[in-house]
Amino acid sequence: MATKTPAETEIALQRMVTIYVVTGLLFLVLPGTFLGVWNLVSISGRHSLAGLAPAWLQAHGHAQIFGWIGTFVIGIGYYSLSKMGGLQPVAVSRAWASWALWTGGVTMRWVANVSEFQWRLLLPVSAALQLIAFVIFFVTVSHHKAQPGKTKRAPIETWMKLVIAATIAFLLALILNQVETAVLAATAEHPVIPHWLDQRYLFLAAWGFPVLAVWGFNARWLPVFLGLREPSSRGLLAALGASACGLAAALFGHLQIATVLLLIASILATVSLSVFRRPRKPAKTQGVSAMFPAFVRGAYLWLLIAAALGVYAALADTHGGVWGASRHALTVGFLSTMVFAIGQRVLPAFCGMRLLYSKRLMGASLAILNLGCLLRVASEVPAYEANIRAAWQILPVSAVTELTAVTLFAVNLGITLLLPPPCPAVARPLTGTALSHPS
Ligand code: HEM
């Protein structure tokens, strides 16, 4: 086979990451958010979480965490680490293999959960496909070398340690998923993880790899994008330590200890990244919404709210309302705000040196997302826990508000990817490091 030129490899990498992004967006909109809205409207109609098929709730959660966030993380991981050296030609073909297995696995899981069709077979097979896809990614990126031309590996920087920890947490979550689904297929009546186990597993799935990945990428990018001071390495490593202990405590069922440790980790990460300190330099907002820095800071407020609500939930939740509010302050308020903000900042460039289609759509998607999250988090506790009528009426409004935000985000990125790039696709040299030198 003819060897590819650097320019051809670059284009192949951009095409690959574009397909990952489009796949993630599809999981976000339909199996993820649309089903989430459907679930919340049903729960609000019954005035209770009880009675709604838990398999549908779990199908929604899996599609969002693995189908959306997971697909983005794997695609961006392949792209960025390929550019950091060493793996270009082989990474492209492996990335496609991972994509096919991963997309097949996540889709199969959703269908099995929602329809219960052949679920005893589909559930463990779907977990195996996801695990194999991720192992290919894991093996590929763990062999990545330093910059081409440099023989010695540089010491591992703190942001990279966080990203490595996130990758390990991701692998652990998928191994647990494999074991859980095999046990369910052999013993359960429906494709539903029992509540006690699901609750522990969700700590790893939500607070594990997505949060650690955000802290890692933020440590690399926020000093450039927001002009923040360089993060404190010691503080970030302390946050990582507290978070790892919190996740371990959650897996063993010590939820009060786990939530306190995750609160400590969140405070440490926020302080160490200097998110709320006066920036050193002006933020770089060219090509994106001028509110970009405010939304990134707002995401950290949501992180602290999610962590504090988690402590409250472990002490006082009776009907799932405080856990739900904490989970969505984290997944919608922190993670989704961060992906909407940073994603619209970096993905157009990764996917072929494009410019974001609309700064105003970006600002609108983020503002509406935050409004929806505020309505949701503020009304879920009084509705579920105290059965307050007005709060039950706000919940469906919050769901539709969040769906609107998600649609705007997907439309903005979708049009960005459909329109031809303003400059030739290979504007950035292949040896440029997307992660090392964010521009
Ligand atoms: C339109 C936005 C969303 C709506 C309307 C929604 C709705 C829901 C509902 C009704 C539940 C059941 C538990 C509860 O009542 O709190 C739930 C659970 C969950 N959601 Fe969402 N959600 C949305 C967005 C998201 C996002 C963006 C993520 C992740 C990135 C996410 C992750 C989860 C997870 C992990 C669960 C737990 C599933 C389980 O019990 O195993 N959700 N969601």
- 210-244 residue pLDDT tens: 999 999 999 999 999 999 999 999 999 999 999 99
Residue 427 has pLDDT above 60, yes or no: no
Q: How confident is the model at residue 430 (pLDDT cuts 50, 70, 90)?
A: very low
**Which ligand 1 atom sits nearest the alpha carbon of residue 43?**
10
The pTM of this model reads: 0.93
The one-character DSSP state at 208 is: I
Residue 151 has pLDDT above 60, yes or no: no
Q: What torsion do the CA atoms of 20, 345, 37, 61 make, to the nearest 10 degrees?
A: 50
Cβ neighbors of 186 (< 8 A, separation 6 or more) are none
pLDDT at 423: 64
The one-character DSSP state at 172 is: H
Q: How far is CA 312 from CA 50, 92, 254, 378, 395, in A?
A: 21, 46, 14, 14, 21
Residue 375 has pLDDT above 70, yes or no: yes
Cβ neighbors of 8 (< 8 A, separation 6 or more) are none
9 versus 330: which is more confidently predicted?
Answer: 330
Residue 49 has pLDDT above 90, yes or no: no
Rounded to 5°, angle at Cα 338 from 219 and 134:
80
Cα(188) to ligand 1 centroid in Å equals 23
Residue 148 has pLDDT above 80, yes or no: no
Distance CA 29, CA 341 (A): 17
pLDDT at 241: 98
Q: How confident is the model at residue 11 (pLDDT cuts 50, 70, 90)?
A: confident
Rounded to 5°, angle at Cα 28 from 390 and 353:
130
pLDDT at 433: 41
Does 113 fall in a domain?
yes
Cα(59) to ligand 1 centroid in Å equals 10
With the C-alpha atoms ordered 278, 283, 289, 295, is the resulting torsion angle positive or negative? negative
Q: How confident is the model at residue 115 (pLDDT cuts 50, 70, 90)?
A: very high
Cα(285) to ligand 1 centroid in Å equals 31
**Which ligand 1 atom sits nearest the alpha carbon of residue 336?**
27
CB of 337 closer than 8 Å to CB of 366: yes
With the C-alpha atoms ordered 254, 260, 262, 268, is the resulting torsion angle positive or negative? negative
CB of 428 closer than 8 Å to CB of 13: no
Does 80 fall in a domain?
yes
Distance CA 209, CA 176 (A): 13
Distance CA 409, CA 414 (A): 8
Cβ neighbors of 384 (< 8 A, separation 6 or more) are 48, 49, 319, 320, 321, 322, 324
Cβ neighbors of 147 (< 8 A, separation 6 or more) are 84, 85, 431, 433
Of 246-250, 379-383, 434-438, the poorest mean pLDDT is in: 434-438
Cα(63) to ligand 1 centroid in Å equals 10
Q: How many domains does the chain have?
A: 1
Tally the C-alpha atoms within 13 A of residue 11's C-alpha that lie toward its C-beta. Answer: 8
Of 79-83, 194-198, 423-427, the poorest mean pLDDT is in: 423-427
Q: Tell me, what amino acid is at 54?
A: P
Does 138 fall in a domain?
yes
Rounded to 5°, angle at Cα 31 from 25 and 32:
70
Does 135 fall in a domain?
yes
Question: How many residues can be counted in the chain?
Answer: 439
Does 269 fall in a domain?
no
Does 279 fall in a domain?
no
Rounded mean pLDDT of the chain? 92
Q: How far is CA 35 from CA 2, 28, 158, 183, 406, in A?
A: 46, 10, 37, 26, 13
The one-character DSSP state at 278 is: P
Cα(328) to ligand 1 centroid in Å equals 6
Which protein residue's CA is at the shortest distance from atom 3 of ligand 1? 36
CB of 78 closer than 8 Å to CB of 91: yes
Residue 87 has pLDDT above 60, yes or no: no
Spell out where 342-384 has E strands: none
Which DSSP string corresponds to 344-355? HHHHHHHTTS--
Three-state secondary-structure class, residue 425: coil
Q: How confident is the model at residue 51 (pLDDT cuts 50, 70, 90)?
A: confident
Distance CA 184, CA 201 (A): 14
Q: How confident is the model at residue 153 (pLDDT cuts 50, 70, 90)?
A: low
CB of 162 closer than 8 Å to CB of 216: yes
- 50 φ, ψ (degrees, to nearest 5): -65, 145
Q: How confident is the model at residue 48 (pLDDT cuts 50, 70, 90)?
A: confident
pLDDT at 134: 98
Does 128 fall in a domain?
yes
User: Per-residue pLDDT tens for 265-288?
Assistant: 999 999 999 999 999 999 999 999
Once rounded to an integer, what is the mean pLDDT over residues 359-367?
A: 98
Spell out where 89-129 has E strands: none
Cα(352) to ligand 1 centroid in Å equals 32
Residue 20 has pLDDT above 70, yes or no: yes
CB of 356 closer than 8 Å to CB of 412: yes
Q: How confident is the model at residue 422 (pLDDT cuts 50, 70, 90)?
A: confident
Once rounded to an integer, what is the mean pLDDT over residues 96-114?
A: 97
Q: How confident is the model at residue 2 (pLDDT cuts 50, 70, 90)?
A: low
**Which ligand 1 atom sits nearest the alpha carbon of residue 62?**
35
Once rounded to an integer, what is the mean pLDDT over residues 367-377?
A: 98
Does 119 fall in a domain?
yes
Residues with CB under 6 A from ligand 1: 33, 36-37, 39-40, 43, 49, 57-58, 60-61, 64-65, 69, 198, 202, 206, 324, 327-328, 331-332, 335-336, 399, 402-403
Once rounded to an integer, what is the mean pLDDT over residues 114-140?
A: 97
In terms of residue numbers, what domain contains 49?
16-147
Residue 92 has pLDDT above 90, yes or no: no
Q: How far is CA 379 from CA 7, 47, 341, 387, 411, in A?
A: 52, 12, 25, 10, 28
pLDDT at 146: 53
| pLDDT more than 70, % of the chain | 92
Residue 379: name the closest of 334, 329, 308, 304 by CA. Answer: 329
User: Per-residue pLDDT tens for 294-346?
Assistant: 999 999 999 999 999 999 999 999 999 999 999 999 999 999 999 999 999 99
